[in-house]
A and B are shown apart, each in its own frame.
Chain A
Amino acid sequence: MSVEVGHYALALALALAVIQVVLPFWGARARDAALMSIGPAAAVAVFVCVLIAFAALVKAHVTSDFSVVNVVENSHSLKPLLYKVTGVWGNHEGSMLLWILVLALFGALVAVSRRSVPEPLRTDTLAVQGVVTIAFLAFVLATSDPFARVFPAPAEGQDLNPILQDIGLAIHPPLLYVGYVGYSIVFAFAAAALIEGRIDAVWARAVRPWSLVAWIFLTLGIAMGSYWAYYELGWGGFWFWDPVENASLMPWLAGTALMHSMLVMEKRDALKVWTLLLAILTFSLSLLGTFLVRSGVLTSVHTFATDPGRGFFILCILVAFIGGGFALFAWRAPVLKQGGLFAPVSREGALVLNNLLLASACATVLIGTIYPLALEALTGDKISVGAPFFELTFLPLALALLLLVPFGQALAWKRGNLLGAAQRVVAALAIAVVGGAVTVAVTRGGPVLAVFGVGLGLFLVAAGVNEVVARSWSRGMPLSNALRRAFGLPRSAWGSAVAHAGVGVVVLGLAAQAWSVETLVTLKPGEAAQAGPFTVVLEGAFPRTGPNFNEEAARFRLIEGGAAVASVEASKRFYAARATTTTEAGIRTLGLSQVYVSLGDSRDGALGVRIYWKPFVLLIWLGAVVMALGGALSLSDRRLRLGVPVPSRRAQASLPTATPAAAE
């Protein structure tokens, strides 16, 4: 019965979502408080219904109910419990249900977070969110029903794609979905502002937490996906400029730009229209990211199923929301009141530059991702746009942006002083140059770009530290005073410093990969190969049996300077139910660096082995975690934000105190 209850709950959620849209929207137009208050109630009810449906599907998977097609196609009675649960969203239908669950959760959160949002704005937001929910529920129920049944039930399921049978599936999709779906709320807020025809600091204050939450989760989701690809696919790489990865990077870039432009809007009441445009754009890219991988246009691990009917439905949803969003924008944006102007050399000026660079970077990724698809659709030619394209287009933009970050952080709001800002980052710049020089000396050369990258990374980290120090310590101040001031700084200031330092950490990790070593050898037991500072000795290979697979494992010993320091185990697994093989890379972490061993084919008792030495590779993902931490710090800061002009310290006395005339 539970399966059908879940199925009915999904249908009921659709009905409730219709109510969530229609009645409150009418109420908002008539300014009727009673009608408007239906919105939150309906949003919570939709969430409860979707939760029931999701729980029913999880139960069907856990109990191996093979009368449900989705379970038959993606589960196996012998699969470990964890993968029975994660298998729920390891397929098209289930992952769409998870998407809707997160969507409904966000709707419910907006509904219960009272007091922070004006009533008509919240009502319209929930109505727009309801429209998104309706589209997705209709899509799932019409073309990808997770509760479709089969009778009689097959005796055994077809098992989950073995590559997905990994702890990564438990973490990566939920994180990514919270990110994607978080931007749906931002989109809903933007659409509501356009419908209401007004946008102000109150709006920015209300949207800030949602934009931050989405950004934090998207950052973590992308980092987790990258780490998963790194250890599971056995190629030793962590970013392949694969269209699917790009699909998650694009909303991240747009979302990062949005986060910064919203700051300008909240502090300075400017960049309003641009912020709305970015909000619509970010959600559009999220939708594209969700659907690009499902339409069957791309072949990848993420392509669960392809079906023309589904593709058409997806196209309709994309057209409706992206087209609808921009049409609404074109129609209503002229109604909005423009905000203040501002001087080019100022914090907000730097943020505009940041936005331009991020948007251009996003555009290059979009072109690199979409162009091959469009070309194939139009002419039938297959081309692949890979790393070389992105290194030529994306990289210069990203480097320019990162180089400017410390300067932007050092500039004051309203009117900054370029020379003063440069003086403030001099210390960080010195650290970066010294660091680069030391790198050259220690490694005896190395690619120019990599040395530059090390310097840039250090620059960013040092600038992050500098940001806190400069704001809390001035010459001659006792340490205790400075500490007190540092802790008294707004958490958003800490958040920004930490997040930017996190970017620096990522850059350091990426730059360090220029010194990574890759060895491809065939080894017999007892033989050794060299990888960076280590000698890797194959101790032996042996078969092993897992719950639903057999594997051929090999153990290696790592020797450094004649002494064994660690051992590492890699294996190749064969999953009988799907007749598929997966490689399980053996990874040994030593400090922040890793030795990575991946097995190839064996021949005549010799084992094909790929060995990598990856110095400081963990920094890449740790940096992402630091960035997310910075976001969380900023999120915890509930204060309102108002731009305050900071006159230069020496000239302070001579300036008129209260009239920043130029900016208004």
Chain B
Amino acid sequence: MTIWLAFAVMTGIAVLAVLWPLSRRLPTRAGAVDQTAFYAAQLAEIDRDLGRGLLEPGEADAARAEAARRLIRASAGAAPATGGDSEPALRRRRAASAVALSTIPLVAIAVYGAVGSPGLPAQPLAAREAPRAGGMGMAEAVARVEAHLARDPADGRGWDVLAPVYLKSGRAGDAVRAYENAIRLLGETPDRLAAYGEALVAAANGVVEKAARRVFERGLAGDPKSAKAQFYLALAAEQDGRPDEAATRLSALIASAPPGAPWRSTVEAKLAALSAPAASAAIANLPASEQKAAIAGMVEGLAQRLAQDGNDAQGWLRLVRSYVVLGDQAKAVVAVQAGKRALAARPADVAGLEGLARELGLVEPAAKP
């Protein structure tokens, strides 16, 4: 309600400011600039310059003559302003008052009504932080820890807290960075190493790269019973084309599983998938030309899906990698650009895509900064 009161007061002042000149009785203003006054000023100035020795007497005469000629030329046909209380003048004033009185509030309210949100109070940061300290949302908590870490990046515990949250919310790159900081500041523990490896795998879109494998191996050396390290090493073996080793590792994992381990079903499913002839194996058995066509078909399918719904950051990363694997640099570059456009609303994902492009050496046509 106060806000409408404020608007009313503002509108009132605005209308008054405009009506005020109408209410004044205007004398014919002294000193108003017209041609005659300008001429007089010019003559005065010529005399002043003559006095200061800037003009010779002859020059001064010439200047006066020129000023006079200009006055004659200029003052032909200038109509003086009217004012006062003649009948048409009064009628004009009344009409003007009516226009001002109606136009100002109408335009202001109409425009503001179309774009404003009068119900929404201002929410400065200080006011938003204080009352909700008890139950703040996840995003806000993350933002706060981030702010804390920006001020004090040497706080390992902060990174340790933040890393799993990043990983869960799909910010794998940030998670990797956070785990690295935590390990650097707090030291290695088998759990931390295993989680770090998991983040690396997530950042590489599920591929257990060499660096991640080393991390898991170090973790396993510290704690031979680490289920996470075992599982990912099995995955690595499978991806490297050694399904037997993978199966052995998984079987050992299941055998050593404590009763009621929550990950047991996942591992068993993975083991089952290993034994069954997978789709990938089917493709692997095709002749080379058909194999390529089949893969290209899958990639095309992915590209089409992304063209319709570009909101899948992981999908874009996979598409770019696939093009590079297929040796089609040009399409990969196009995919990076399309992905960046589609994900423009999420700078973190765009950065991820850019990072991948850099990593893969995809050169975009240079843009001017």
Interfacial residues, chain A to chain B (CB-CB below 8 A): 1-5, 7-9, 11-12, 14-16, 18-19, 22-23, 26-27, 30-38, 40-42, 44-45, 49, 60, 63-67, 77-78, 115-120, 141, 145, 147-149, 151, 153-156, 158, 163, 198, 200-202, 205-206, 233, 242, 269, 299-301, 337, 485, 488-490, 545, 547-548, 550, 576, 578-579, 639-640, 642-647, 652, 655, 657-660, 664
B197 → A minimal CB distance (Å): 24
CA distance A269 to B150 in the complex (A): 65
Nearest residue in B to A122 (C-beta to C-beta)?
B33
The reply to whether A3 and B122 form a contact with Cβ atoms under 8 Å apart is: yes
Return B309 CB to nearest CB of chain A, in Å. 22
B307 — which chain A residues lie within 8 A by C-beta? none
B121 touches A14 (CB 8 A): no
B73 in complex: contacting residue of A5, A12, A18, A337, CB < 8 Å:
A337
Picked from B55, B142, B153, B347, the residue with its CB within 8 Å of the CB of A578 is B347
Q: Which of A26, A41, A198, A660 contacts B18 (CB 8 A)?
A: A41
If A38-B21, A153-B128 touch, whether A11 touches B108 (CB-CB below 8 Å) is yes
Q: What are 28 pairs between A and B in contact, CB < 8 Å? A: A1-B122, A4-B116, A7-B115, A7-B116, A8-B112, A11-B109, A12-B104, A14-B111, A18-B107, A22-B103, A34-B24, A34-B89, A35-B92, A45-B17, A60-B122, A63-B126, A66-B125, A78-B151, A118-B33, A119-B29, A151-B117, A151-B120, A233-B369, A300-B369, A301-B369, A550-B153, A576-B146, A657-B58
Cβ B96 vs Cβ A11 within 8 A: no
The 8 Å CB contact of A15, one of B42, B58, B65, B104, is: B104
Chain A residues whose CB sits within 8 angstroms of the CB of B7 once the complex forms: 5, 8
For residue A118, which residues in chain B have a CB less than 8 angstroms away from its CB? 32-34
Give B115-149 interface residues, CB cut-off 8 Å to A.
Answer: 115-118, 120-126, 128, 137, 139-140, 142-144, 146-147
Measured between alpha carbons, how far is A151 from B123 in the docked complex, in Å?
Answer: 10
Q: Flag if B10 contacts A659 (CB, 8 Å).
A: no
- Within the complex, what minimum Cβ distance (angstroms) separates A10 from chain B? 8
A565 to B347, CA, bound (A): 44
| Shortest distance between the CB of B12 and any CB in chain A (Å) | 11
Q: Once the chains bind, are A660 and B118 in contact (CB under 8 Å)?
A: no
**Are A120's CB and B150's CB within 8 A?**
no
- A153-B128, A301-B369, A490-B54 in contact; A1/B62 too (CB < 8 A)? no
CB distance from A485 to the nearest CB of B (A): 7
A20 to B323, CA, bound (A): 61
Given A201-B38, A640-B45: A37 and B24 within 8 A (CB)? yes
Among candidates B79, B81, B111, residue contacting A36 with C-beta atoms closer than 8 Å: B81
**With contacts A32-B83, A579-B347 known, what are 15 further pairs, Cβ within 8 A?**
A1-B6, A4-B117, A4-B118, A8-B112, A11-B111, A19-B18, A27-B92, A31-B82, A33-B82, A34-B83, A35-B96, A37-B26, A488-B53, A642-B63, A657-B62
A31 and B81 contact, CB distance less than 8 A: yes
Give the Cβ gap from A312 to chain B, nearest Cβ, in Å.
Answer: 18
With A7-B116, A9-B10, A16-B18 already in contact, the answer to whether A200 and B74 are too (CB < 8 A) is yes
Q: Interface residues of B, CB < 8 Å — how many?
A: 93
Q: Given contacts A67-B122, A642-B63, is CB(A14)–CB(B99) below 8 Å?
A: no
B324 to A: closest C-beta gap in Å: 22
Q: Are B122 and A65 in contact (CB under 8 A)?
A: yes
Q: With the chains together, A645 CA to B45 CA distance in Å? A: 16
Q: Does B3 contact A (CB under 8 A)?
A: yes
Query: What chain B residues lie within 8 Å of A151 (beta carbons)?
Result: 117, 120
Q: A8-B108, A78-B147, A116-B33 are in contact. Are A32 and B137 (CB under 8 A)?
A: no
Task: Encode contact with A along B38-68: 1 for CB under 8 Å, 0 otherwise.
Answer: 1001100110000011111011011101110
- Please determine whether A32 and B82 come into contact, CB atoms closer than 8 angstroms: yes
Cα-based distance from A146 to B284 in the complex (angstroms): 57
Contacts of B109 in A (CB 8 A): 11
B93 in the interface (beta carbon within 8 A): yes
CB-based contact B10/A12 at 8 Å: yes
A32 to B80, CA, bound (A): 10
Task: Give the chain B neighbours of A642 by CB distance below 8 A.
Answer: 42, 45-46, 63, 66-67
Say which residue of B3, B35, B63, B123 sits within 8 Å of A65 (CB atoms). B123
Which of A40, A141, A202, A490 has the most C-beta atoms of chain B within 10 angstroms of its own C-beta?
A: A202
Within residues 174 to 215 of chain B, which ones have a CB less than 8 A from any CB in chain A? none
Chain B residues whose C-beta falls within 8 Å of the C-beta of A34 in the assembled complex: 21-22, 24, 26, 83, 89, 92-93, 96
B93–A41 touching, CB < 8 Å? no
User: Is there an interface contact between A7 and B112, defined as CB atoms closer than 8 Å?
Assistant: yes
Least CB distance from B46 to A in Å reads: 7
How far is the CB of A188 from the nearest CB of chain B, in Å? 17
* Residues of A contacting B34 in the complex (Cβ-Cβ under 8 angstroms): 118
Give Cα A570 to B74, complex, Å. 63
Evaluate whether A14 and B139 lie within 8 angstroms (CB atoms) in the complex, with A38-B22, A200-B74 already known: no
User: Are B26 and A33 within 8 A (Cβ)?
Assistant: yes
Q: Is the CB of B62 within 8 A of A658?
A: yes
When A and B form their complex, which 10 residue pairs have the shortest distance between CB atoms, in order from nearest?
A63-B124, A15-B107, A33-B83, A64-B125, A155-B140, A11-B112, A579-B351, A155-B143, A11-B111, A37-B21
Instruction: Tell whether A5 pairs with B81 under 8 Å between CB atoms, given A15-B111, A41-B17.
Output: no
Residues of B within 8 A of A63 (CB): 122, 124-126
User: Of all chain B residues, which has the CB nearest A202?
Assistant: B38
Give the residue of B63, B108, B139, B367 whose beta carbon is less than 8 angstroms from that of A299: B367
- Which residues on the A side are within 8 Å of B74 (C-beta)? 198, 200-202
Q: Give chain A residues whose Cβ lies under 8 Å from the Cβ of B121.
A: 1
Expressed in whole angstroms, the minimum distance between the Cβ of A127 and any Cβ of chain B is: 14
Q: Report which of A120, A153, A206 forms a contact with B81, defined as CB distance below 8 A.
A: A120
Asked whether B338 is an interface residue with its Cβ less than 8 Å from the other chain, the reply is: no
In whole angstroms, how far apart are the Cα atoms of A30 and B83 in the complex?
A: 10
Residue of B nearest to A663 (CB): B66
Most buried by B among A9, A12, A156, A485: A12
Q: How far is the CB of B292 from chain A (nearest CB, A)?
A: 33
Judged by a CB distance under 8 angstroms, whether B226 is at the interface is no
Contacts of B104 in A (CB 8 A): 12, 15-16, 19
Interface: B259 (CB within 8 A): no
- By the criterion CB–CB under 8 Å, are A15 and B96 in contact? no
CA A547 to CA B111, docked complex, whole Å? 40
Is B287's beta carbon under 8 Å from chain A? no
Is B70 located at the chain interface by the 8 A CB criterion? yes
Say yes or no: A488 contacts B52, CB within 8 Å: yes
Which A residues are in CB contact (< 8 Å) with B3?
Answer: 1, 4-5
B296 at the interface (CB under 8 A from A): no
What residue of chain A has the Cβ atom nearest to residue B75's Cβ? A200
Complex Cα distance, B20 from A42, in Å, reads 10
CB-nearest residue of chain A to B32: A119
B80 to A, closest residue via Cβ:
A31
**In the complex the two chains form, what is the Cα distance from A153 to B120 in whole Å?**
11
| B277 part of interface (Cβ distance < 8 Å) | no
B168 is an interface residue with CB less than 8 A from chain A: no
| B112–A33 CB distance below 8 A | no
Chain B positions within 8 Å of A31 at CB level: 79-82
User: Which residues does chain B contribute within 8 Å of A579, judged by CB atoms?
Assistant: 347-348, 351
Residue numbers in A under 8 Å from B78 (CB-CB): 198
- Please, which residues of chain B bring their CB within 8 A of the CB of A548? 150
> B303 interface residue, CB < 8 Å from A?
no
B30 to chain A, nearest CB (A): 10
Distance (Å) between the CB of A484 and the closest chain B CB? 9
B256 within 8 A of A: no
Chain B residue with the shortest CB-CB distance to A145:
B115
Contact status A149-B120, CB under 8 Å: yes
- A35, A115, A640, A646: the one contacting B42 at CB < 8 Å is A640
The smallest beta-carbon distance between A413 and chain B, in angstroms, is 10
| Beta-carbon nearest neighbor of B141 in chain A | A155
Contacts of B33 in A (CB 8 A): 115-118, 202, 206
